[in-house]
């Protein structure tokens, strides 16, 4: 009886770790699916703009002690092949919250926070954009908008699918 208990004590952590790894693999697969729209890329002239949705527990994927914030929706926007002149403009770093919007049905949300984040690259700019989280159940149409007047002078629309937003959230949180 004691031998069986000892085996169970050692097997439970192994099973839990395996489930955690399977969840991370599943989350990566969902994030990389082109039809999911959770990570999209647009080419405008010489520039490439990448938009990535960061699921609810995105910080917990790498740091188990991180707090879950289910009151925010986070996105990462990366603009590559930016010229040196564009990089030196103050507008690239300040007041960028006016460049982003989140459309949920007929509601247009403005960011709680939008800030340039360090990415270690000399020819790209990266932003972390945070919106207030609204319930996704009644949402029929969702889109992330980047009014890029700094680099490409275009209004970029990234359509989002609520089914994949919810799936990535549940996988990231281990639900």
Distance in angstroms (rounded) separating the CA atoms of residues 129 and 116:
9
Distance in angstroms (rounded) separating the CA atoms of residues 93 and 39:
23
Cα separation values, 154 from 5, 15, 43, 124, 146, Å: 64, 49, 11, 17, 8
What was the pLDDT predicted at 9? Answer: 43
Distance in angstroms (rounded) separating the CA atoms of residues 150 and 156:
12
Sign of CA dihedral 128, 80, 38, 16: negative
pTM of the model: 0.78
What was the pLDDT predicted at 19? Answer: 44
Q: What tokens does 10 get?
A: 């050692």
Distance in angstroms (rounded) separating the CA atoms of residues 54 and 43:
21
What was the pLDDT predicted at 154? Answer: 92
What was the pLDDT predicted at 123? Answer: 81
What was the pLDDT predicted at 6? Answer: 47
Domains and CATH numbers, the chain: 2-173 (2.60.40)
The residues, ordered by sequence, that sit 6+ positions from 83 with a Cβ below 8 Å of its Cβ are: 123
What was the pLDDT predicted at 5? Answer: 44
Classify residue 37 by its DSSP letter.
-
All residue ranges of the chain with pLDDT < 70 are 1-23, 30-34, 36, 58-67, 91, 175
Report whether 163 contacts 19 (CB < 8 A). no
Helix (H, G, I), strand (E, B) or coil at 13: helix
């Amino acid at each position: 009886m004691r031998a069986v208990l000892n085996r169970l004590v050692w097997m439970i952590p192994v099973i839990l770790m395996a489930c955690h790894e399977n969840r991370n693999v599943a989350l990566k697969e969902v994030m990389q699916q082109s039809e999911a729209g959770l990570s999209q890329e647009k080419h405008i002239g010489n520039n490439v703009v990448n938009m990535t949705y960061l699921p609810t527990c995105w910080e917990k994927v790498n740091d188990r002690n991180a707090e879950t914030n289910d009151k925010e929706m986070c996105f990462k926007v990366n603009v590559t092949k930016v010229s040196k002149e564009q990089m030196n403009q103050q507008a690239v770093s300040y007041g960028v919250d006016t460049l982003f919007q989140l459309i949920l049905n007929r509601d247009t949300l403005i960011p709680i926070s939008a800030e340039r984040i360090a990415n270690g690259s000399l020819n790209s700019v990266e932003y972390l954009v945070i919106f207030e989280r609204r319930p996704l159940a009644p949402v029929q149409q969702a889109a992330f908008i980047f009014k890029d007047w700094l680099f490409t002078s275009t209004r970029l629309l990234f359509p989002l699918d609520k089914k994949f937003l919810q799936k990535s959230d549940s996988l990231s949180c281990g639900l």
